[in-house]
Amino acid sequence: MRAREWEARLRLYAFQLEEMRRQVADIELMIADFSRKREELEMAVRMEERNAGVDDPKDVRYPLAALDMRKRHENLGQSIESLKEQLKIAIKRVEEAQEELETAREQAEREGVEMITAPEAMPGAHPLS
């Protein structure tokens, strides 16, 4: 392969790696946001229960707003768990993409290709932090 072809290939791998890293960051942001909302709901449920003087959801006097918030709290918990699973998969993909990029760089070096752009200057030169 010629230098330009290697450079294009490495740029593609680097671009894919950066895109996967962005996906990891997005998932982490969603988990943090959902966790914050879940904590807020938990506090709001306690406040509703305190105001009503009833903390047993089976009691007929239990506030409907608190029941609704409990359900949303539970749904957010399930969503967080699902996102954590997605995060594990996304992190694994980032690691695999990093390995592919490094392998391609090493192969280019073994073939003695002089790059127009130094591989270290390309995006994705640093592993996931």
The C-alpha atoms of residue 55 and residue 47 are separated, in whole angstroms, by 10
What is the pTM (predicted TM-score) of this model?
0.78
In a domain, 50, yes or no: yes
Query: Can you give the residue range of the structural domain that contains 74?
Result: 3-113
Q: What tokens appear for 12 in the block?
A: 């593609």
A 10 A CB-CB count for 113 gives: 19
* pLDDT tens digit at each of 129 positions of the chain: 687 888 888 999 999 999 999 999 999 999 999 999 999 999 999 999 999 999 999 999 999 999 999 999 999 999 999 999 999 999 999 999 999 999 998 888 888 776 555 444 455 444 444
pLDDT for 114 equals: 67
Domain count for the chain: 1
In a domain, 7, yes or no: yes
pLDDT for 84 equals: 98
